[in-house]
Structure 1
Amino acid sequence: MKIIYLMIGLAISQLSFAHGDQHKKMNQQASFQQEEWGIGGTKNEVNRTIAISMGDDMKFKPEKINIKAGETIRFEIKNNGKLLHEMVIGTKQVLDKHAEMMVKHPNMEHDEPYMAHISPGKKGEIIWKFNRAGSFDFACLITGHYQAGMVGKIEVQQ
C-alpha cells in the first residue's frame, strides 16, 4: 500500500513539475504581448542600456528618460535601499489601476516583462521595445511607494 501512495505522490510531483514548465512557456509567450507602451524584447535586440537606481527615498534616478521609437532598451535597475522595490512600465491609467489592486491585495504576485521586483542591494533588468511613440510612465507599485511619488516618465519620440 505504501508503494501505491509513493507512486501516486511521484506522479503528482511530476505533474506539478510539468505544470511549472507549461506555466513558464505560457509566460514567455505572454512576454511578447503588444502593450500600448511597447512589447517585450530580447537581449539580441537591445540598442542601448539605461541604468536606473531606486531607493528608500522613494525616487528613481533618472526620473525622466527619452527614447526613440523603435529602440529596444535594457533597463539595468539597482535597488540601493533596504526595502523591496519594483519598476513597472505602463500608462498612468494602467499603473493607477494596478496600484489600487496592490493596496487591496498587498501580497499579490505578478510577473510581466515590463516589470522587475528587486530585493534590497540587488540588481534586475527589463528589456523592452518601445515600438510606439508617446508619453509613458514607470513606477514602484508596492503599497505606499507609488502613493509617496515613486514614479518616473518615459518620452518616446518618432
Structure 2
Amino acid sequence: MVRLSIVVAIGVLSAIGLSPTVASSEPTGHRHEIEIFSAGEPGDPEKPSRVIKVTMQESDGKMLFVPDHVEVRKGEQIKFELYNSGEFDHEFVLATTQENQKHAEAMKMNPQMEHDDPNATRIAPKKRDEIVWNFTKLGEFEFACLIPGHRDAGMFGTVRVK
C-alpha cells in the first residue's frame, strides 16, 4: 500500500511538473524536502570540530545515550562520534523536542523508515557512525532514537547551545 501511494504521488507530481524530491527509490527512506534544521546546519567535515563521543545502549530495561546532556557554544562545530554498544538498531536524530515527538509518531506508522538527512543516522549493533553539526542557533535541542518504543524507554538527550 505504501509503495502504491508513492507511485501515485510521483505520477501526480510529474503530471503537474513538480520534482518529487521527497520520494526515494527505497519506500522506507525519508528525506526532508526543505533542508532547514532547527538546531543549526550540517557541519563541514574538513573543518576542525570538537569531538563528543556518544554511546547508545540498553541497560535494565532502559534505552539510553551516554552522555545524555551536552553543552556547546553558538557557532561551534561538533563531531558526534556515535557508537551503538547495544543489541538493537538505534538512531540519533537531532532536532527540537517537538519535532522529534512528531517524527516519532510518524515512525510508529512506518517503523522501518530510515533517514537520509544530515541530522540523523541509524546505527546497527556494535557499529559506529558520525554526524558533524554546526550549532548556529541558541536554545535547547534534543537528540533521540525515534525507532518505535526507544524514545519512550528513555532514549533521548539534550544539547544546550549558549
**Which range, TM-score by smaller chain?**
0.7 to 0.9
Unaligned runs of 5+ in 1: 1-22, 24-29
Who wins on radius of gyration, i.e. which is larger? 1
Paired letter, 1:40? P
Give the match's secondary structure for 1:44. Answer: coil
Question: Identity of aligned pairs, percent?
Answer: 41
CA distance in 2, matches of 1:112, 1:137: 16
Richer in helix (by share): 1
In the alignment, is residue 131 of structure 1 matched against residue 133 of structure 2?
no
Q: 2:111 aligns with which of 98, 106, 109?
A: 106
Deviations 1:38-66, CA, capped at 9 Å, x for gaps? 00112123321100001123010001000
CA distance in 2, matches of 1:46, 1:103: 37
Q: How does 1:1-158 map to 2 (within 5 A)?
A: 33-57=35-59, 58-157=63-162
Shift of 1:104: 1.0
Shift of 1:114: 0.5
Shift of 1:69: 0.3
CA RMSD of aligned residues (A): 2.0
CA distance in 2, matches of 1:68, 1:120: 31
Deviations 1:109-136, CA, capped at 9 Å, x for gaps? 2211001111100101011110011110
Unaligned runs of 5+ in 2: 1-24, 26-31
Give the match's secondary structure for 1:59. Answer: strand
- Does structure 2 retain, via aligned residues, the 8 Å contact 1:59–1:151? yes
**Structure 1 segments (4+ residues) deviating >6 Å:** none
Give the match's secondary structure for 1:56. Answer: strand
Paired letter, 1:49? V
Give the match's secondary structure for 1:136. Answer: strand
CA distance in 1, matches of 2:69, 2:114: 27
Shift of 1:74: 0.5
TM-score, normalised via structure 1 length = 0.77
CA distance in 2, matches of 1:114, 1:132: 14
CA distance in 1, matches of 2:121, 2:114: 12
CA distance in 1, matches of 2:140, 2:93: 15
